[in-house]
């Protein structure tokens, strides 16, 4: 006869001693993330005074200005566009790489894994500076294109949107690949073999079996890459050359240069909402794909 669970066990399915270990992390989360975010939200509903002071009555004037001014809307649009382009590029490049690394039995797999995560081991500043002698007008890539005759003059790959995209894809591709690889490795090879034995071609087996089961990793990877991209500051600053204005760089200008703390805080909240909105859409897509 099965012994009934005690009331305490039913009420607290997780041992309390483990809950105590979570307290420091929760406190750090509240102090380091929730607290500053609430402070930004409070600042965002006031107005900017002289010498960085936040004054006036609470209102939504800052948000109204952001959503009505064509210049601010262009900054928002360029930021979202950058996030979508980088996310799409990482998904297209990362999925084949993740599938290969998840399925290969090559002895070189550890070496390939190390090469794949190498961008994560390098400081973002050093990594971005390293792109300058490659993407510059007289850099390695343009020199190669001129030598083999593909182009007659250097292609502008720096101080523009293209250079920022290239550097961000290089930096964020490992995140997408690792998430996809983890999910693909959890899919049994026997399922693919069964589909092939039933007459499915390799492409049909992948599209109808592997891809639907791997949407969890794809959704998580897209949400992560998009969130990091729209909030990136170092890469647009170094490789954008002051010509690529996205929300992160604009917020830095408002707070550090012109000392508009209230308006910069409103832009930061909008950036946060954009990131949360994408994550929510990805989660809903994931739920629908698993039905």
Q: 274: domain CATH number?
A: 1.10.3720.10
Q: What b/e string do you get for 79-90 counting C-beta neighbours within 10 Å, with b at 16 or more?
A: bbebbebbbebb
What confidence category does residue 233 fall into, taking pLDDT thresholds of 50, 70 and 90?
Answer: very high
Q: Could you list the residue range(s) of the whole structural domain that residue 200 is in? A: 66-289
Asked whether residue 13 is domain-assigned, the answer is no
Asked if residue 51 is part of any domain, the answer here is: no
pLDDT value of residue 15: 54
Asked, for residue 46, whether it belongs to a domain, the answer is no
Degrees (nearest 5) of the Cα angle 172, 174, 177?
115
Query: Per the domain annotation, does 184 fall within a domain?
Result: yes
Domain presence at residue 71: yes
The pLDDT assigned to 274 comes to 85
251-262 pLDDT, tens digit each: 999 888 888 889
Domain presence at residue 238: yes
Q: What is the pLDDT of residues 43-71, one digit of tens each?
A: 899 888 877 788 888 889 899 999 899 99
* Whole-number pLDDT of residue 17: 60
Q: Is 264 within the bounds of a domain?
A: yes
Tally the domains of the chain: 1
State pTM to two decimals: 0.85
**CA–CA separation, 145 and 38 (whole Å):** 51
Report whether pLDDT(6) > 70. Answer: no
Residues 1-27, mean pLDDT to the nearest whole number: 60
**The length of the chain, given as a count of residues:** 291
Is residue 98 situated within a structural domain?
A: yes
Q: What span, in angstroms and rounded, lies between the C-alpha atoms of 271 and 268?
A: 5
């Amino acid at each position: 006869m099965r012994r009934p669970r005690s009331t305490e066990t039913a009420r607290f399915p997780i041992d309390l001693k483990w809950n105590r270990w979570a307290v420091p992390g929760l406190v750090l989360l509240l102090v380091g993330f929730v607290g500053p975010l609430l402070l930004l939200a409070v600042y965002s509903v006031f107005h900017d005074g002289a010498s960085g002071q936040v004054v006036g009555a609470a209102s939504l004037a800052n948000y109204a200005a952001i959503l009505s001014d064509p210049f601010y809307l262009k900054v928002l649009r360029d930021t979202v566009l950058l996030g979508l382009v980088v996310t799409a590029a990482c998904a297209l490049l990362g999925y084949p790489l993740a599938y290969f690394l998840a399925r290969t039995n090559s002895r070189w797999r550890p070496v390939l894994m190390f090469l794949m995560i190498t961008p994560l081991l390098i400081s973002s500043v050093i990594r971005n500076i390293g792109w300058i002698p490659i993407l510059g007008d007289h850099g390695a890539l343009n020199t190669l294109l001129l030598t083999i005759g593909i182009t007659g003059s250097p292609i502008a790959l720096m101080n523009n949107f293209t250079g920022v995209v290239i550097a961000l894809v290089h930096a964020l591709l490992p995140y997408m690949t690792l998430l996809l690889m983890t999910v693909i490795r959890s899919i049994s090879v026997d399922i693919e073999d069964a589909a092939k034995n039933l007459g499915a071609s390799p492409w049909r087996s992948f599209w109808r079996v592997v891809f639907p089961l791997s949407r969890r990793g794809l959704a998580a990877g897209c949400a992560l890459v998009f969130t990091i991209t729209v909030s990136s500051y170092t890469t647009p600053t170094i490789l954008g050359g002051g010509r690529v204005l996205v929300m992160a760089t604009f917020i830095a200008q408002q707070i550090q240069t012109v000392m508009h703390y209230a308006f910069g805080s409103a832009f930061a909240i909008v950036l946060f909402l954009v990131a949360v909105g994408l994550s929510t859409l990805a989660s809903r897509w994931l739920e629908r794909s698993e039905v």
